[in-house]
Amino acid sequence: MTEQARRAQIVAAAIATVAELDYAETSFKAIAARAGLSSTGLISYHFRNKQELVDVVFANILERFQGFVSARMGQGSAREELRAFLSANIAFLREHRDDMVAFLRIRAHSAVTDGGIADSDHVELAGFLRRGQEAGEFRVFDPEVMAVFVLAMRNGVVLRSGALDLDVCERELIAAVELMTGR
């Protein structure tokens, strides 16, 4: 197996392990077992420590998530853009539940969050909420605060997604956000 393939195998196993066990319970031993590796030394060869692995996992998920969501944006009006953003978030969750759960569970532990990289959702959402207000599509509210509320609802769906119907979640999330932002 090539080094790149082995690193990808370890990252995938780390994502699944964090999604199942949570951050604190995730160890090189648990990751090695999930990946079918004979030794934790194979992980240590590719990653100096748990922090480096967490940072790589976080950046990997963030990059794939941002690409997925961005590809579904550009819908037109701010209201349409908001719907597209929320739908894309739920669509990514449908296809990559472990990634989203792991992302939220390791977010506070990742050094990648330095410099605001992890807050890109908030920045983007607050930006098009502001543009929607300027265009007269949304009522007056604080876009920064509203972005916090919207993302908190999204994150709640992610963390409970194993027990929820995601079609219903998508419909209700969009409806709730439209009621919160509408004129």
pTM check: above 0.75: yes
pLDDT score at 14: 97
Please state the rounded mean pLDDT for residues 95-107.
92
Tens digit of pLDDT for each residue in 81-90? 999 999 999 9
Lowest mean pLDDT among 21-35, 82-96, 109-123: 109-123
Lowest mean pLDDT among 10-14, 73-77, 78-82: 73-77
Residue 119 has pLDDT above 90, yes or no: no
DSSP letter for each residue of the chain: --HHHHHHHHHHHHHHHHHHH-TTT--HHHHHHHHT-S-THHHHHH-SSHHHHHHHHHHHHHHHHHHHHHTT---SSHHHHHHHHHHHHHHHHHH-HHHHHHHHHHGGG-GGGGGGGGGHHHHHHHHHHHHHHHTTSS-S--HHHHHHHHHHHHHHHHHHGGGS-HHHHHHHHHHHHHHHH--
pLDDT score at 34: 96
pLDDT score at 23: 92
Average per-residue pLDDT for the chain: 91
